[in-house]
Chains A and B, each alone.
Chain A
Amino acid sequence: MTGIVTTPEVATPPATAAARPERRRSTRRRSGRGALVGWLFLLPATVFYIAFVLWPILSTINYSFYDWNGITPATFVGVQNYVALVTQPELLGSIINAFVLIIFFSLIPTALGLVIAATIRGISGSRLAGIARVVLFLPQIIPLVAAGIIWTWLLSTDGLINQLLRGIGLGGITRAWLGDFTTALPAVGVIGAWVLLGLCTLLLLSGMSKLDPSLSEASRLDGAGAVREFLSITVPLLKAEIGVCITVTVIAALASFDIIYIATQGGPGNSTMVPGLQIFYLAFTQREVGLASALAVALMVLVLAVVLPIQRIFRGNDQ
């Protein structure tokens, strides 16, 4: 979705006095034949990037100014599709749903992931830690469609969740979780949380393993308990990893499609409708490619508008 473009690192010779003439020559070479070779190395990736990232994005932007059914010649309509976006309440509703999903796709996995990662690290010596890692990461390797199907069964009227609730005497609150207007969106959110928890846990765990053990030792010597150490040492030092978790999962929430398409298809009513699904319906059911493209462009802008400030917050005082 968001390709991370790394700037090509140019080899830097050591900046010592002795090396200076050498360096000047290499600079000259870079601007001549060397640069050409450098660009040639870049060419394959550039071609793919243009063909599969830039070109589709620009085509989508182009389509968004047309009234087009995907087959017959299109008519140019200017910004009319964008006007429709802000004037149709159901489109706005789907964007609100996507923001609600951030709680489940992003905040819960990150918060729980932190606690779980700290716990696993605490017991890193035992075999249980390895098992816990595998079990938690398992949802990540299950295709989202399969996850959607599994959860549809679990959350059905006679599914495992309701059986468990009845088993512990909570039969009164059982319901078709995905078929109820009030619970469908949170239920879909739970599926997302389940999928993304493993990813966040693993990311945070790898971040924790890089932390200097002397810091935690020092805090222990100063009399900090596990909770104080977690809050004052671990969490602040994991800022970058938490930033990555939040970014990836917020994008997953705002651009969600697969889980919802499988579990509820946007229903009941429009209670689980999200922009990704709306784009799909507009393009393939209503065959309004222009309006679908406009919504896709709006979604891309929305994701950037949410993610860029998050990036800034978590990168802010790094140095």
Chain B
Amino acid sequence: MEKTRPKRRAAIRVPALAGMALAAVLGLSACAPGGSAAPSQTTATFAGGTPTCGTKPVTMNAYFETGFPLPKALTDEFTKQHPNVTWNIREDQFAVITQNAARTLSDSAPDLMRLPSIADLAKEGLLKNLDGYATAFGWDKWPASQLEQLRVDKSGSRGSGSLYAQGLNFSLTGVFYNKDLAKKAGITGTPTTLAELDADLAKAKAAGITPIAQFNGGATGGLAFPLQQLMAAYGSPTSINDWVFQKSGADIDTATNKQAAAHLEKWVKAGYFASDVNSLDYAGMMSRFIGGKSLFIFDGDWESGNLDKQMAGKAGFFLMPSATAGGKQAAMSAPLTYGIAAGAKHADCAATFLNWVATDKTARSIAVKVGGSHPMGLADAYMPEVDSSTVTGQTLAAGATVSKDNGAMDFIANATNAIYAKSWTPQLQSLVAGRVSSDDLLKSVQSDYLSQIKQ
């Protein structure tokens, strides 16, 4: 008894202390988070004339994506041409950038930053409005479709309104194929209709070759690539864009999209995808394709330079064929999005850099040779010579077809912040496992979409 007494005393005091602390902390915390108002949507602060980087030393604060050499190659060249400008670059994986974008833009206001989906960021006033720069530099004379995805209107839907970001180049997706495996399967030319592509897939399967390696594991539902390509093969890219841009009344569960999803389901059931497609990640897909283990991948031209190097002469590219002979061809196409924080210190210099990327001859060559994709800018602007038999040559030529057919679409994964991770990916994985039908897949995604844009 005697022994326990001091212990009990202490035991009484400790809760008292905790209670006091608790009360103090509660008192402090009884206020709404995010109290400091975010910077209001600024209209262009740029006053007039042509912005420059000046002549005084400037250190640009930049935030880039790890694993892609293009931005660094461009900033190095820019410094070579403008020695007063140096770069302080921080790099992260795209997933990390996505998660930190809002916080980074508001707290450390980078002058130039790789951006994920921009709608919310623009709506929250975190991005600099670039309209003033667009007028000053003449970006408004570029083909309108190039910058469409980078515009956000007052209600927060993309596709029209003020310009909030720029591109370092714009990418394009389609189908890459292994020439040796195609020959082995008895395939003689690239398909011109969806039925011909089906026949090629069947031939590969019959020859014992995995027809398609596609990443679809973890949180990356890569089957969204063939699905969206099939949607555009059956229907029009305009209605898909409306859905991605959150136009009112837009619906993904349409008749032609149902056909597309059913077609994808047919491919899954026919065993055209690698059997472990639900655990295959992007790097795994690339290593299998480059290693000659599968005939096709659905991917984008950011891999063109890489494939020209690693599979020199052995890889080819074609745009997804239409469901009808001679039909229009479409591709997912998006600018490699970079923006300026609303509170950036050197916004003029960042805008000057973005304009330089699209107009300088050396910069445009770097965009093609290092980035593998088409540079931004005027339709008749300088283009470097590219061998038309290379993958890079083929993807650049495909870009011309897509713009002729008006077939550029934004990626269905960009419709909302959560649609890819929380809706497309689990649904597509369930489709592979036969746990959801193609009809139900589109219904679920549409209902998730509606609940997400309501918030």
A270 interface residue per 8 A CB criterion: yes
Q: How far is the CA of A298 from the CA of B83 in the complex (A)?
A: 56
**Known: A10-B10, A157-B275, A181-B435. Contact between A286 and B417, CB under 8 A?**
yes
Q: Is the CB of A285 within 8 A of B421?
A: yes
A residues within 8 A CB of B276? 156-157, 175-176, 179
User: With the chains together, A200 CA to B122 CA distance in Å?
Assistant: 51
Is B34 within 8 A of A179, CB to CB? no
Which residues between 77 and 94 of chain A lie within 8 Å of chain B, taking CB atoms?
Answer: none
A157–B210 Cα gap in the complex (Å)? 14
Kindly state whether residue A264 has any CB partner on chain B within 8 Å.
yes
Q: Closest B residue to A11 by CB, please name it.
A: B6
Give chain B nearest CB distance to A238 CB in angstroms: 26
Which residue on A lies nearest to B24, using beta carbons? A50
> Contact at A74–B430, with CB atoms within 8 Å?
no
A128 to chain B, nearest CB (A): 37
Q: How far is the CA of A176 from the CA of B278 in the complex (A)?
A: 8
Interface status of B112 (Cβ within 8 A of chain A): no
Is B47 engaged at the interface, CB distance under 8 Å to the other chain? no
**In the bound complex, CA of A15 to CA of B5 (Å):** 11
Query: Smallest Cβ distance from A179 to chain B, in angstroms?
Result: 3
* Cβ-closest chain A residue relative to B416: A286
Interchain CB contact under 8 A, A73 and B35: yes
Q: Mark A174-191, 1 if CB is under 8 A from B, else 0.
A: 011111110000000000
Chain B interface size, under 10 / 10 to 19 / 20 to 34 / 35 or more: 35 or more
Given contacts A12-B6, A69-B124, A266-B219, are A54 and B25 in contact (CB under 8 A)? yes
Do residues A62 and B29 form an inter-chain contact, with CB atoms below 8 A?
Answer: yes
Complex interface: stretch among A1-9, A243-251, A310-318: A1-9
Q: Evaluate contact between A70 and B218: CB separation under 8 angstroms.
A: no
Contact B429 A268 (CB under 8 A): yes
* Minimum CB–CB distance for B288 against chain A, Å: 10
A7, A59, A68, A269: the one contacting B429 at CB < 8 Å is A269
Q: In the complex, which residue of chain B has the Cβ closest to the Cβ of A187? A: B279
**Neighbouring B residues of A5 by C-beta, 8 Å:** 14
**A288 at interface (Cβ–Cβ under 8 A)?**
yes
Q: How far is the CA of A136 from the CA of B166 in the complex (A)?
A: 54
- The answer to whether the Cβ of B454 comes within 8 Å of any Cβ in the partner chain is no
* Chain A 137-158 interface 0/1 with B at a Cβ cutoff of 8 Å (1 = within): 0000000000000000000110
Given the known inter-chain contacts A285-B98, A287-B417, please indicate yes or no for A267 contacting B25, CB distance below 8 A: no
Would you give the shortest CB distance from B177 to chain A, in whole angstroms? 22
Answer yes or no: A214 CB below 8 A from chain B CBs. Answer: no
Nearest A-chain residue to B99, judged by Cβ: A284
What are the residues of chain A within 8 A of B426 when measuring CB–CB? 266-270
Q: A69-B102, A74-B32, A267-B217 are in contact. Are A178 and B279 (CB under 8 A)?
A: yes
Task: Tell me the complex Cα distance, A55–B28, Å.
Answer: 9
A70 to B101, CA, bound (A): 11
Inside 8 A of A201's CB, which chain B residues have their CB?
Answer: none
Whether A66 and B32, one on each chain, are in contact in the complex, defined by CB atoms closer than 8 angstroms, is yes
Residue pair B14, A180 in contact (C-beta under 8 Å):
no
Which residue of chain A is the closest to B9 with respect to CB atoms?
Answer: A10
**Least Cβ distance of A191 to chain B in Å?**
14
User: Whose C-beta in chain A lies nearest to the C-beta of B430?
Assistant: A269
* A117 to B22 Cα, complex, angstroms: 42
Residues of B34-50 whose CB lies within 8 A of A: 34-35, 37-38
B30 x A62 contact (CB < 8 A): yes
A301 contacts B by Cβ under 8 Å:
no
* Residue A58 lies at the interface, judged by CB distance under 8 Å to chain B: yes
Q: How far is the CB of A13 from chain B (nearest CB, A)?
A: 10
Shortest Cβ distance from B164 into chain A, in angstroms?
Answer: 16
A71 to B7, CA, bound (A): 47
Assembly CA distance A209 to B268 (angstroms)? 57
Measured between beta carbons, the chain A residues less than 8 angstroms from B106 are 71
Tell me if A265 and B218 are in contact (CB < 8 A). Answer: yes
**B32→A76 contact, CB < 8 A:** yes
Structural contact, A179 and B25, CB atoms closer than 8 A:
no
- On whether the beta carbons of A74 and B422 are closer than 8 Å, the reply is no
**Across the interface, do B37 and A73 meet the contact criterion of CB distance under 8 Å?**
yes
For the complex of A and B, list the 6 residue pairs with the smallest distance between their C-beta atoms, beginning with the closest.
A179-B279, A176-B276, A179-B278, A268-B429, A265-B219, A284-B99
What are 25 A-B residue pairs whose CB atoms fall within 8 Å in the complex? A7-B14, A9-B7, A12-B3, A12-B6, A49-B21, A62-B30, A66-B32, A66-B33, A69-B34, A70-B102, A70-B103, A71-B124, A76-B32, A179-B276, A179-B278, A179-B280, A181-B429, A181-B430, A267-B219, A267-B426, A269-B429, A281-B422, A286-B417, A286-B422, A287-B102
